[in-house]
Chains A and B, each alone.
Chain A
Amino acid sequence: GQQLNQSPQSMFIQEGEDVSMNCTSSSIFNTWLWYKQDPGEGPVLLIALYKAGELTSNGRLTAQFGITRKDSFLNISASIPSDVGIYFCAGRYNTNAGKSTFGDGTTLTVKP
């Protein structure tokens, strides 16, 4: 089956620093999604990418759909304490209909 490798597994940064995380797949996807999960809550969709090469921003967040369709990147600029949480990537391929494959998550800690 499809495998997603998300890295890094965890990050400890100072407030104000930029953050970068990525996901790579063993096979191609048609859609990449990035979610954030706060403690005790469900994942919340941050950015959706539908086209290879696409670069999309949502405030201080920027995500890119890799040209090979096997990877995606999420960058957070000027981190703030509320950015703390677990970030998940998810990929989908059309033939899997509604099914998404999730990465294992990147746990972000921001020190004030």
Chain B
Amino acid sequence: DAGVIQSPRHEVTEMGQEVTLRCKPISGHNSLFWYRQTMMRGLELLIYFNNNVPIDDSGMPEDRFSAKMPNASFSTLKIQPSEPRDSAVYFCASSLRDTYEQYFGPGTRLTVT
């Protein structure tokens, strides 16, 4: 299995620009999670989906952040407009709903200047 795939691996953008991060979960997994990792705040859960439906988005920082999962094999996390404080590594993870083992992607390192 290819594992969780994220793109791009690195993104550098200017403040105010729209950023879209992409994730392909492991085939057959029906839960998907978006995390943000920074030195100051560690790993934070932003949102997660079960069977393509958002279950808990309480970790989404503000309205500038949105996430979608149009089908079982694809999800996006969008930031519009981006700000320098959004700079972080964003991870996508997936799991089988009936187990608790999340498998993480390699992450997208976002830098907003």
Partners in one complex: yes
A residues apposed to B, CB below 8 Å = 31, 33, 35, 40-45, 48, 50, 88, 92, 97-100, 102-105
B105 touches A (CB below 8 Å): yes
Q: Across the interface, do A43 and B104 meet the contact criterion of CB distance under 8 Å?
A: yes
Q: Across the interface, do B102 and A100 meet the contact criterion of CB distance under 8 Å?
A: yes
Q: Give complex CA distance A43, B46 in Å.
A: 16
B residues apposed to A, CB below 8 Å = 4, 31, 33, 42-43, 45, 48, 50, 55-56, 91, 93, 95, 97, 100-107
Overall SS of chain A's interface? loop
With A97-B50, A98-B33, A98-B55 known to touch, is A42 a contact of B45 (CB < 8 Å)?
no
Q: Across the interface, do A48 and B107 meet the contact criterion of CB distance under 8 Å?
A: no
A-B contact pairs, 10 of them (CB 8 A): A33-B100, A35-B104, A41-B107, A42-B106, A44-B104, A48-B101, A98-B31, A98-B48, A98-B95, A102-B45
